[in-house]
Amino acid sequence: MDLSKLSDLLKLPWHISLTLAVICAVLLFVPNSLLVWLGLHSLVSTYRSWIALAMFVFLAIPVGNTIRFLAVGIQVLFEEWRIRQVGKDHFRALTVHQKIILSYFIDNKTRIVHLDMMDGTVNDFVRYGILYQANNLMYLHKGMPYGINDWAWGYLNKHPDLVQDEYLLNKSG
């Protein structure tokens, strides 16, 4: 048997593989009287072990795809959780300049702000997953539009004291 044919078999779409597994299961588990009536009794009795093996192989393909799908989903969720944790840790040690940028979002209740794309602080926020570049259209007099991520928006609205600074309060008051 050629092994390349076996690898082609493993590349079957999951719905075809599942259908073939169900067909094999039906052949294995239907009553003998029905197999006799269909004329398949001698075929199934001769190749019962091969049909069972085929059923398990055909079942392994959708199960493997499901496991891979779940693993990728869990990996994405873990990465999002890790970004949030790093971002929340970053909120505990903000500089005055960082607080000014983030307070503009919270104080004005806006999700998009035009900022200087050459500002290292803004690029740090993007790297930490706190801000994202809203689009690629740059306005010369305004700057680049940046949006605040949902998790950061919710966290900073729950904890507005993180972006308030005594220096900023005394200067405005």
pLDDT in tens, 22-60: 888 888 888 888 878 888 888 888 888 888 888 888 888
Q: Taking 60 as the threshold, does the pLDDT of residue 13 lie above it?
A: yes
pLDDT bracket for residue 132 (50, 70, 90): very high
Taking the C-alpha atoms of residue 123 and residue 17, their distance in angstroms, rounded to an integer, is: 47
Scored b (16 or more CB within 10 A) or e, 116-131 reads eeeeebbbebbebbbb
Q: Domains in the chain, ordered, with CATH?
A: 3-84 (no CATH), 94-172 (1.10.10)
Cα dist. 11→14, 16, 78 in Å? Answer: 9, 10, 29
Please report, in angstroms and rounded to a whole number, the separation of the first and last CA atoms in the chain.
84
| pLDDT per residue as tens digits for the range 69-80 | 899 999 999 988
In a 13 Å sphere around the CA of 55, the CA atoms on its Cβ side amount to: 15
Mean of the pLDDT values across residues 84-99?
Answer: 85
Name the β-bridge partners of 115: 144
Query: What are the start-end ranges of the H helices in 2-140?
Result: 3-10, 14-29, 32-38, 41-46, 48-91, 96-107, 120-127
Res. 172: pLDDT tops 60: no
Cα–Cα distance between 90 and 170 in angstroms, integer?
Answer: 24
Q: What is the pTM of this model?
A: 0.58
